[in-house]
Amino acid sequence: MNTKSNQLGKQSEKIYDRATKVLTGGVSRNTIFRNPHPFYVSTANGSYITDVDGCKRIDFANNMASLIHGHSHPKIIEAVTDQLQKGSAFTMGSELEVKYAELLNNRTKSFEKIRFMNSGTEAVMTMIKASRVYTGKHKIAKAEGTYHGTYDYAEISQTSNPTNWGTIDKPNPVPIVEETPKGVLNDMVIFPYNDIERTIKLLNQNANEIACVLIDLVPHRVGLIPATKEYIDAIYKWTRENNTILAFDEVVTYRVNYSGAQENYNVEPDLTALGKIIGGGFPIGALAGKSEIMQVLDPTEKKIRHPHSGTFSANPISMTAGYTAMKMFDKQAVLDLNKLTKIAIKQIEESISLSGIPACVTGDGSMFRVHFNNNKPTTYREAYQEKEIKTIINELLDYLFLKENIIMINTCACMFATTLNQQHVDRLSEALLNGFRIIKPKLENIS
């Protein structure tokens, strides 16, 4: 354990005191907030982050799954530094954009054309709007509990709970932001994840109005539970029969396989939203899919049906970093990282067994999540965490962060990077074993 952690973030506390005077809540993104204050980074390299108090931690979060090669990778730094000498953004195109588009389109079979943007949220937003234009319909169908960014329609029902989620036969469209227009809710069809019969029934009730069915194949907020092949097959068949776009959100899941999580399934989507790892550590988003559908964005058409632009879209820095990162994340790198992740899951399951707590692990590819129940959940409602469990998870994560110098995502999840190795995995499973033993009495009290 790093002895400097005993300073308990004194410098971070001082910075946060300043931050509260100029930033709303002292932060620019709520995900970094923690009581009594966030911690601030001094430097980061590989799979280690050192904070302003000198405490060095192993990073298993990798900026919410966006850093596939960890921090400050020398090849990415070299490429970006070289490009910075030439300029960072222009009111002109660059060959880098074409070069990177060729790489990604050759990587995934369903990508015929691609358009770059600046975030995963923007990619999903553009995917939804393009689906409406192409189909001439306006409703959006999505699974209960799934996170698809912060666009009004995409975020509905991502935090549904027993007090508002309605019946399993017809889940309620639940807003996450107060005063979300009722029209948004009326244009949403919410279905239960991984439930074929109920999903198809709900889709049928709105068949003439649904522009796209939005699917995350391994949704983090639902529980990092892979969609079954039968479920995706059924939805695909329904979209073919009802002139509806099958839209995959692979902003997080593109890391699962060389061609994304869609490589695991029998069908191809019409459109795919991308983000996170394809930016190589810089802001990015992308929409890829069938040429015929992507044509609604085409400025050479007589009528531009969906005008799309963005000041920093396809900027040469994100293009350079992303291209470099994805070239390195080749088939062998994907296989190696997924293999290491499987070893980590096995060792964590051993830690669960040794500690004697009710827990299990779900996930796919290079990501996984710990659930505090004996049976692996298959749906959002099965994975839902009551307040008492969330409190215990926060206690565990605080222990790992402050005492074991381990960083995980606040859902008790990990998103691996190629900079991790077996020593890091051993350290993680050991730290979790210690943490599991600490929280065991509290888990027993609520079981």
259 and 398 share one domain: no
Tell me the residue range of the domain where 34 lies.
3-68+331-446
Q: How far apart are CA 429 and CA 427, in angstroms?
A: 6
pLDDT tens-digit map of 319-330: 999 999 999 999
pLDDT > 50? residue 102: yes
Residue 45, beta-bridge partner list: 48
Dist. CA 342–CA 92, nearest whole Å = 44
- Please check whether residues 231 and 318 belong to one and the same domain: yes
Of the candidates 328, 359, 377, which is a domain's last residue?
328
Contact assessment for residue 216 and residue 247, using Cβ atoms and an 8 Å cutoff: no
Residue 83 has pLDDT above 80, yes or no: yes
Which of 291, 313, 328 is the endpoint of a domain?
Answer: 328
Predicted local distance difference test score (pLDDT) of residue 7: 60
Task: Judge whether residue 3 has pLDDT over 50.
Answer: no
How far is it, in rounded angstroms, from Cα 151 to Cα 148? 8
Phi, psi of 188 (to 5 degrees): -110, 140
Tell me the C-alpha distance between 44 and 60, whole Å.
Answer: 13
Q: Could you tell me which residues come within 8 angstroms of residue 98 by beta carbon, excluding any fewer than 6 positions away?
A: none
Tokens read off for 416: 């691996």
Q: Which residue has the tokens 């290079």?
A: 366
Looking at residue 207, which CATH number applies to its domain?
3.40.640.10
- Picking from 282, 303, 328, the residue at the C-terminal end of a domain is 328
Asked if residue 36 has a cis previous peptide bond (ω within 30° of 0), the answer is yes
Residue 2 pLDDT > 90: no
Non-local CB neighbours of 217 within 8 Å, separated by 6+ positions: 226, 227, 232, 248, 250, 253, 256, 261, 262, 264, 265
Q: Assess whether 224 and 283 both reside in one domain.
A: yes
pLDDT of residue 241: 98
What global pTM score does this model have? 0.96
pLDDT (average), residues 188-215: 98
Q: Which two tokens stand for residue 388?
A: 């008492």
Q: What is the pLDDT of residues 121-145, one digit of tens each?
A: 999 999 999 999 999 999 999 999 9
CA gap 432, 358 in Å, rounded: 14
259: nearest Cα among 288, 232, 294: 288
242: tokens are 């009802």
Do 201 and 336 fall within a single domain? no
pLDDT at 35: 86
Q: What was the pLDDT predicted at 1?
A: 42
Both 48 and 112 in a single domain? no
Task: Please state, rounded to an integer, the average pLDDT across all residues of the chain.
Answer: 96
**CA–CA distance, 262 with 447 (Å, rounded to integer):** 37
Q: Is the pLDDT of residue 332 over 50?
A: yes
User: What's the whole-number mean pLDDT along residues 182-196?
Assistant: 98
Residues 186 and 305 reside in one and the same domain: yes
* 360 and 302 belong to one structural domain: no
Asked whether the predicted pLDDT for residue 273 surpasses 90, the reply is yes
Question: Letter for the amino acid at 421?
Answer: N
225 and 256 together in one domain: yes
Share of the chain above pLDDT 70, in %: 98
- Tell me how far CA of residue 201 lies from CA of 206, 230, 235, in angstroms: 9, 16, 11
Angle separating helix axes 316-328 and 74-84, nearest 10 degrees? 150
Residues forming beta bridges with residue 143, ordered by sequence position: 191
Cα–Cα distance measured from residue 66 to residue 371, given in angstroms and rounded to the nearest whole number:
22
Domain match, 384 and 413 both? yes
Q: What is the CATH number of the domain that holds 435?
A: 3.90.1150.10
Give CA–CA dist 132/212, Å, rounded: 8
The rounded distance, in Å, linking the Cα atoms of 106 and 322 is 15
In this prediction, residue 6 has a pLDDT band, given cuts at 50, 70 and 90, of very low
202 and 262 both lie in a single domain: yes
Above pLDDT 90, what percent of the chain?
96
Residue 165 has pLDDT above 50, yes or no: yes
User: Is residue 6 a contact partner of residue 12, using CB atoms and an 8 Å limit?
Assistant: no
342 with 238, same domain: the answer is: no
Helices (H), 59-208: 62-65, 74-84, 95-107, 120-135, 182-186, 196-205
Distance from C-alpha of 128 to C-alpha of 109, rounded to nearest angstrom: 21
Answer yes or no: do 127 and 203 share one domain: yes
* Three-state SS at 245: strand
Count: domains in the chain = 2
User: pLDDT tens for residues 389-447?
Assistant: 999 999 999 999 999 999 999 999 999 999 999 999 999 999 999 999 999 999 998 86
Is residue 434 exposed (0-12), middle (13-18) or buried (19+ Cβ within 10 Å)?
A: middle
Indicate if the pLDDT at residue 203 is higher than 70.
yes
